[in-house]
Structure 1
Amino acid sequence: MKAVLLGATGMVGQGVLRECLRDERVTEVLVIGRTALGVEHPKLREILAPDLAKLVTRTDIVKELSGYDACFFCLGVSSAGMTEEAYHRVTYDLTLTVARALCTHNSNLTFVYVSGQGTDSTAQGRTMWARVKGKTENHLLALPMTTYLFRPGYIQPRHGITSRTPLYRALYAVTAPLYPLIRRLVPNQVTTTEHLGRAMIAAAITGAPQPYQGPHGINDLANSAR
């Protein structure tokens, strides 16, 4: 399987990249991002696109987008302090721009999108981020490709992976020793970066029971891929 990965510098994306590079079924990973990863691997290729919103206007990038089986879209931002217009531009506009470009050049594409628990599928609710995420999910499902919408709950970083947000890094450092207990108490509400990566690969290769996958479904997919 050949996969495109966006958001590889973020916590979730780091986990997905790690699992892709470790999995023999993944033969190539194309990372598209604004900055270089600083990682070298025989399976890894990078395309630097400082302005991802202009992805489809750059002929040097578009011609490189064919021949892929899956896209793992891990790019996202917190809505804290953002206007709805700005959040919509990053969450909806950018995601759909990338998805449309990829499905145009790959007829059998599987697109795995990292959404969030609490996303409003009606896209009509009062919570801004949930409404925009819901609209994004709905329009991804309408594209001519196989789409899986991952809605993870609490995500524990593993294998040295860290968040780029200082507050989150501090939170994860505190909760890491407690994670085994948290997992026993609320197993259907938590997952890890490792499980997310494995589950995305499993969904792309063998499929998943339904488009929407919460923590329980993500963990089941990850375990089935072992």
Structure 2
Amino acid sequence: MTADERNAGQRHGRGMRIILTGATGLVGGEVLRQALADPRVGQVTVLTRRTLGIRDPRLRELILADFLDYAPVGDALDADACIWCLGVSQTAVGPQDYLRITLDYPVAAAQALFARNPGMRFCFVSGAGADPQERTAVLYRRIKGRAENRLRAISPNAFSFRPAFIRPPAGRRRPLVVKLYTPLADVMDRFTDGFSVECAQLARCLLDVAGHGTDQPMLDNRTIKNWATPAFRSPHF
């Protein structure tokens, strides 16, 4: 961090306060890394079931036994924004568990957070193909679309992000499915901005919208991928 960056952070006072979930996952881990490297972020509060094992003066962990009940940590929920990266594949759990994790958890959190600070921003990592009409037979598309609708009904400051194939950061272990999918993404990315996005770029976009919001309630893969260009990006927080 340069001296100018430190001074900028000091001029912003306490800095932005972020609540983050899914910090042990691909996207949440990258959001956490970038947030702690940004002098404009004053505090990151991670909601988690277990400690992360990371030491940083701006990092606070809240151990939650139940992601549907925020009464035990109510006093710690004051924040400027929440970035919701907690999720699970529909192939990893049964339908009821998927519904609880994908829909009930973020909705319960949004209700608790907006009750304390109606002006905050809630950034929900959804997924490409989410169906806001909730008519598709594909479980993840239907439930992601339902979650987007429920969150937006709670507050206009709820924003949904629909990344397609997420490319892991360099040096990150790549599961077999990612290794198999990457060559296809390399080809498709020559023709479209809707097929994949770098994890680091998704994290930057999430943090940018968390900082100042946007007039777009839903950001698709193309929007996320091009967020750094003047046509897409607003001033930083």
Q: TM-score, normalised by structure 2?
A: 0.83
Structure 2 residue identity aligned to 1:17:
L
Contact persistence 1:2–1:28 (CA under 8 A): yes
SS in 1 for 2:68: helix
C-alpha deviation, 1:158, in angstroms: 0.8
Q: Is the 8 A contact 2:160 2:218 kept in 1?
A: yes
Residues 1:120 and 2:131 are matched in the alignment: yes
Which consecutive unaligned segments of at least 5 residues does structure 1 have? 163-167
Cα drift, residue 180 of structure 1: 5.5
Change (3 A) 1:124 1:175: closer
Q: How does 1:96-135 map to 2 (within 5 A)?
A: 96-135=107-146
- Once residues 179 and 93 of structure 2 are traced to their aligned partners in structure 1, the CA distance between those partners, rounded to angstroms, is 27
Aligned counterpart, 2:218: 212
| Superposed CA RMSD | 2.2
The residue aligned with 1:64 is 76
CA contact (8 A) 1:119 1:131 kept: yes
Match of 1:148 in 2: 159
Match in the other structure for 2:98: 87
Cα distance between partner residues in 2 of 1:97 and 1:196:
24
Q: Which has the larger radius of gyration?
A: 2
Q: Residue deviations 1:155-212, cap 9 Å, x none?
A: 11114344xxxxx622334566886655334333211111111101111223334111
Partner Cα separation in structure 1 for residue 166 and residue 228 of structure 2: 14
What's the CA shift for 1:148?
1.0
Instruction: State the match for 1:165 in structure 2.
Output: none
How many angstroms apart in 1 are the aligned matches of 2:118 and 2:172? 33
Relative contact order: is structure 1 or structure 2 higher (C-alpha 8 Å, sep ≥ 6)?
Answer: 1
**2:29 paired with 1:14:** yes
Over 3 Å counting, the alpha-carbon distance change for 1:77 and 1:42 in structure 2 is same
| CA shift in 2, pair 1:126/1:174, >3 Å | closer
- The residue type paired with residue 108 of structure 1 is G
Q: Which residue does the alignment assign to 1:169? A: 175
**1:29 matches 2:82:** no
Determine the C-alpha separation between the residues in 2 that align with 1:140 and 1:183.
31
Kindly tell me: are residues 175 and 24 of structure 1, through their superposed partners in 2, closer, same or farther at Cα, counting changes over 3 Å? farther
The alpha-carbon distance between structure 1 residues 177 and 81, as it changes in their structure 2 partners (threshold 3 A), is closer
Instruction: Tell me how many residue pairs correspond in the alignment.
Output: 217
- TM-score, normalised to structure 1, is 0.86
State the SS of the aligned residue for 1:42: coil
